[in-house]
Amino acid sequence: MFRSLHMKLMLILLLLITSLMAVVGAFLTISVSSFYINSFYEQMNTVFGENGRDFVSDLRAAAAEENGADRIVEILDAKTGPLGIDHRTRNYFLLDGATGAYLSGSAEESEFPREQSVNLLAARNAVARQDSTAVGDESDITADFMDVAIPIFSGDHAYIIYILDNKATVTGLNGQLFLIIMQALVIGLLISVLLSFLLSKTMVGPIEKLTAGAERVAAGDFDSELPVESTDEIGILTGTFNEMSGVLQATLAAVENERNKLDTLFFHMTDGVVAFDHKGRLIHCNPAADTMLQRPVDSRCTYEELFGEVYPFRELMSLQRPNFAESELTVGDRNLELYLAPFSDKASGGVLIVLHDITEQHRNENRRKEFVANVSHELRTPLTNVRSYAETLLDAGDDIPRETASSFLDIIITETDRMTHIVQDLLTLSRLDAGDAELVLSRFPFGDAIESVVRANALNAKQRGHVLAYTPPESLPLIVGDRSRLEQVMMNIIGNAVKYTPDGGVITVTAGAEQDAVWMEVSDNGIGIPDKDKERIFDRFYRVDKARSRESGGTGLGLSIAREIVQRHQGAIGLVAHDGPGTTIRLTLPVGGPEI
């Protein structure tokens, strides 16, 4: 309740008014009492002091008489005015100097106090000492009376004039004062309550508005600017607050923009990114990392679970930036390269892991190694043959029969041809790979090209006892392409059918057109291709049966060259699934040629 500024303000004002009134009241009461006491003793001094020497002499003279007491009373009665005797609050008493007993007075004996005051005792002592100058006029502001005792003696007669004021006047006055102060206090309190309301309206109101504005800004609402209603400190504060919230909004917008950029980058980058906090709990994981790790990665995943075996978390956290660790991880059939680094030295930091898929890189590297091994192997075999036959011929000299020598030379020539063939094929492939082998495009009849290739194979097929049949369709369109390279492809497909079909086989060539494409299919009833090899026959140097292929002069490069050429024409080449033995290969080409 007292935490609000309004209540605090009111409390301060109430305390201020109350304490002010208390001080003023106390001051006034004391002042009034002191004034009253002072004026009492001044009055007494005027009557009995230096100035009232004649009066005191009269009293002493009266005291010397036989009926001294009556005389003194007479004199005192005549002096009631200057003495302020009013018989109510102030009275005089004539006492016996020796005993202090009541003799007479302006009031009855019953009014005389039983207990004798300090002043009275002092006067009695003075009487005892025969000291007429000592007067009991000690005053005490706290006492509820004030008095003065004057010893009067002449010869054996001694009296004490005792004047007693019961302070009824001053008490009444103080009571009145107290009442006035109380009334003033109540009015003062009411005014302070009103003032506190007024102050809170002028001071607390703007502060409350500022607080509400700050709360809105804290909740992210920067749109409403606070009105500056005054030029005082609160006005300046409101202005500064508006400026501050403007700067904050601009900064937040910039941060948000940066974050959006990073989010987009993070979301679309092909490398995987995973972040963990300092306790190894997952904070972020982008879709690429999800795919690479081949499992759904959510907030329950921990570093230990995902990468604990790759690199110890503690060691990683203790790395000093910009140091980082590298490692590799195999997930299923994928090879991942990992870069692990702590992203902050503080306790609130964590680690960031970038995953890079190097499966393709590995595969290419393996393919390259395999290719080099294949080339070396393919060339070494004919070279070894050539060398051994040449050495034999050399060693034998003239001893070798002529027929044997010429059969040896035949083998050497065949092996040399083989090597030339391999080197030519490799050259063609490397040109196709490098993009050097420009296609020489022309428009030509697709059917004519097939017919010429079938014709070129006819003799070979006939020698093997095959039936090579081609029934051209009614019409085949003209197509755009590199005729000689496409004929090389057809040659390879039909040649393979002739090669890999045992003697006396049936080879059927069909062709057709559909929408914007033409196709050619070559089916044979030969040895076929086992399922496990179907995927790979278009790979370089891949041969199902190496010995058979070598026998028939194959290099294992024909179909890979064919695929490269067809792909450059944006066509397709592949095996067609069919029932029964043999192989069917289909070639499809776009009528309009490759789109550049």
Q: Could you tell me the two tokens for 478? A: 């003209």
Point out the residue whose Cβ comes nearest to ligand ADP.
554
**What's the CA gap between 406 and 400, in Å, rounded?**
10
Smallest separation, CB 428 to ligand ADP (Å): 13
Helix (H/G/I), strand (E/B), else coil: 357: strand
387 φ/ψ sector (left φ>0, alpha ψ -120 to 50, else beta): alpha
Assess 571 for contact with ligand ADP (CB under 6 A).
Answer: no
The answer to whether residue 382 forms part of the interface with ligand ADP (CB under 6 A) is: no
C-alpha 298/C-alpha 285 separation (Å) is: 8
CB of 579 to ligand ADP, least distance (A): 16
Residue 370 in tokens: 């395999």
Q: Judged by CB, which is closer to ligand ADP: 38, or 420?
A: 420
Q: Between 433 and 516, whose beta carbon lies closer to ligand ADP?
A: 433
What is the smallest separation between the CB atom of 472 and ligand ADP, expressed in angstroms?
A: 21
Measured from the CB atom, the residue of 174 and 583 that comes closer to ligand ADP is 583
Q: Judged by CB under 6 A, does residue 352 bind ligand ADP? A: no
Site membership for ligand ADP, residue 33 (CB under 6 A): no
466 binds ligand ADP (CB under 6 A): no
The dihedral built from the CA positions of residue 457, 458, 463 and 468, taken in this order, carries a sign that is positive
Q: Does 204 sit near ligand ADP (CB under 6 A)?
A: no
Q: Work out how close the CB of 557 gets to ligand ADP at its nearest, in angstroms, rounded to a whole number.
A: 6
Distance CA(563)–CA(569), nearest Å, equals 10
Contact 164, 120 (CB under 8 A): no
* CB-nearer residue toward ligand ADP: 151 or 528: 528
Which one of residues 165, 378, 487, 524 is an interface residue with ligand ADP (CB under 6 A)? 524
Is residue 500 at the binding interface for ligand ADP, with CB under 6 A as the rule? yes
**Interaction between residue 497 and ligand ADP (CB under 6 A):** yes
Stretch that binds ligand ADP, among 26-34, 284-292, 407-415, 489-497 (CB under 6 A): 489-497
Nearer to ligand ADP among residue 68 and residue 526 (C-beta): 526
CA angle, residues 285, 337, 264, in degrees to nearest 5: 35
In the complex, the smallest distance separating the C-beta of residue 585 from ligand ADP, rounded to whole angstroms, is: 7
Token output for 118: 């300090």
Least distance in angstroms from the C-beta of 293 to ligand ADP: 38
Shortest reach from residue 290's CB to ligand ADP, in Å: 39
- In angstroms, rounded to a whole number, what is the distance separating the alpha carbons of residues 543 and 188? 114
What does the DSSP assignment read for 69-99? HHHHHHHHHHTHHHHT--SSSEEEEEEETTT
Quote the distance between the C-alpha of residue 53 and its chain's center. Answer: 99
Q: Is 92 exposed, middle or buried (0-12, 13-18, 19+ CB in 10 A)?
A: buried
Closest to ligand ADP by CB, 201 or 548: 548
Residue 106 is a binding residue for ligand ADP (CB under 6 A)? no
State both tokens at 212: 């509400």
Does 418 sit near ligand ADP (CB under 6 A)? no
Q: Number of residues in contact with ligand ADP, rule: CB under 6 A?
A: 22
Mark the segment that binds ligand ADP (CB under 6 A) among 17-25, 133-141, 404-412, 524-532: 524-532
From the CB of 583, what's the least distance to ligand ADP, in Å?
A: 4
Question: By CB neighbour count within 10 A (0-12 exposed, 13-18 middle, 19+ buried), where does 515 fall?
Answer: exposed
- Helix extents (H) in 162-297: 168-199, 205-218, 233-268, 287-292
Smallest distance, ligand ADP to C-beta of residue 470, A:
16
558 binds ligand ADP (CB under 6 A): yes
Under 8 Å between Cβ of 472 and 447: yes
Cα 152 to its chain centre, rounded Å, is 100
Write the Ramachandran bin of 174: left for phi over 0, alpha for psi from -120 to 50, otherwise beta: alpha
For residue 127, what is the enclosing H or E element? helix 118-128
> Of 157 and 418, which has the nearer Cβ to ligand ADP?
418
Residues numbered 527-546 forming contacts with ligand ADP, rule: CB under 6 A? 527-529, 537, 543-545
Segment contacting ligand ADP (CB under 6 A): 46-54, 113-121, 473-481, 552-560? 552-560
| DSSP-assigned letter for residue 503 | S
Q: Which residues are at the interface with ligand ADP (CB under 6 A)? A: 492, 496-497, 500, 524, 526-529, 537, 543-545, 549, 554-560, 583
